[in-house]
């Protein structure tokens, strides 16, 4: 959905560097979801946030990964000390009160 903005669309990092992925949901959507999609696999839930609050982070790896959704500005998914296994497409979605998710076009992370 063109209304959900993700950037960068493509990001290349070397092992050990940090990756920051940004997501701005559609106006009026105060909830953000992050999913990870590996090649030939489905979407794996990572984290669900509302403004200034993490609601469910049961899908986030315990180390190196963090997410925030500040009162002002986009939601950010941060991956520290990236490894090759972090290479994937990361999708953000905004939530509506109908339960429907509105997805961005994804950020594709490649770790060299």
4 binds other proteins (CB under 8 A): yes
56 binds other proteins (CB under 8 A): yes
Least separation in angstroms between residue 48's CB and other proteins is 5
Going by DSSP bridges, is the β-strand pair 19-24/5-7 parallel, antiparallel, or unpaired? Answer: antiparallel
What span, in angstroms and rounded, lies between the C-alpha atoms of 21 and 90?
8
48 binds other proteins (CB under 8 A): yes
Interface with other proteins by CB under 8 A: which range of 12-20, 45-53, 61-69, 79-87?
A: 45-53
Going by DSSP bridges, is the β-strand pair 10-13/107-111 parallel, antiparallel, or unpaired? Answer: parallel
Interface with other proteins by CB under 8 A: which range of 12-20, 66-74, 76-84, 100-108?
A: 100-108
Output the six-digit token pair for 40. Answer: 């030939």
CA atoms 111, 94, 31, 51: torsion sign: positive
Determine which residue in the list 25, 31, 34, 111 makes contact with other proteins, applying CB under 8 A.
Answer: 31
Other beta carbons within 10 angstroms of residue 75's beta carbon come to 24
**List of residues contacting other proteins (CB under 8 A):** 1, 4, 31, 33, 35, 41-45, 48, 50, 56, 58, 91, 93, 95, 97-101, 103-106
């Amino acid at each position: 959905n063109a209304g959900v903005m993700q950037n960068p669309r493509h990001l290349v990092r070397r092992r050990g560097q940090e990756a920051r992925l940004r997501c701005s949901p559609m106006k009026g959507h105060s909830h953000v979801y992050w999913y990870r999609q590996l090649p030939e696999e489905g979407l794996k839930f990572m984290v669900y946030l509302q403004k200034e609050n993490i609601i469910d982070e049961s899908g986030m790896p315990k180390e190196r990964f963090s997410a925030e959704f500040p009162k002002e500005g986009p939601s950010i998914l941060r991956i520290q000390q990236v490894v090759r296994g972090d290479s994937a497409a990361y999708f953000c979605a905004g939530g509506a009160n109908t339960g429907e998710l509105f997805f961005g076009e994804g950020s594709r992370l490649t770790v060299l």
